[in-house]
Amino acid sequence: MGFGAQNCVAFRLPALRRDPDSGGRPIRGHLSLYALIALCALIEIVLTLSDLQLFGPPRLRQMAYEYFGFWPGLLQAWRPNYAAQPYTMFVTYGFLHGGPVHLAVNMITLWSLGRAVLDRVGQGAFALLYAGACLGGGAGFALLAPELRPMVGASGALFGLAGGLLAWAYVDRYASREGLWPVARAVLLLALLNLVLWWAMAGQLAWQTHLGGFVAGWILALLIDPRPVE
């Protein structure tokens, strides 16, 4: 199973300038982030209870993966479980995880990166960036994965948030004529993280999803908010 990476170095991203008009988002400004984390957590709780035979059918996780995971074969000759599956899987895979630990690390990363994005551009743009990165992650896996194994996890979208934050950091630093090494260093650290985890997980890391999400997030961030914050 091509689980998403735990983006531990996301907390080392260059400090991002906050839009002076935001004034720091109030709690209600983070409702979309709370809702996203709660939804992912609820899904994993139900699947874990099923694994423990405490709720629902014992094969519920397998069924969830079969119906809502990302299966590259569905873009070829495989027969889908329902007509829209080859399209909906570009979104639904991001709400499934490989277990409580996978979920916990991804949600901690989402909390850290999501707040920074919300402080920069607000809830609507955050939702657009997250959704676009999720789609980009699926596209990256579809184009670059050498096998037809399935993939689940929010890390494609998380790498998209990281890509967006780094894009904004690049714009801000370039506009103020500051050095760009912190941005380049963060990109290199993310690449190194993927390499190390790919090796540690014996090639079961969906690095293609991370790459697709990162590129999509970088591009979308520059379309959403191309102006530097002084």
CA distance 183 to 166: 6
Q: Which residue among 50, 97, 102, 155 is the active-site one? A: 155
145: amino acid identity, one letter: A
Which one of 30, 97, 102, 210 is the catalytic residue? Answer: 210
DSSP state of 150: -
30 is catalytic: no
The rounded distance, in Å, linking the Cα atoms of 109 and 156 is 12
User: Residue type for 140, please?
Assistant: G
Buried b (16+ CB within 10 A) or exposed e, 14-32: bebbebeeeeebeeebbeb
Helix residue ranges per DSSP H, 78-206: 85-92, 100-144, 155-175, 181-200
- Contact indicator for 209, 151 with CB cutoff of 8 Å: yes
Beta carbons within 10 angstroms of residue 189's beta carbon: 15
**DSSP structure class, residue 47:** H
Whether 112 is catalytic: no
96 half-sphere exposure, CB direction, 13 A CA radius: 24
| Residues with a known catalytic role | 155, 210
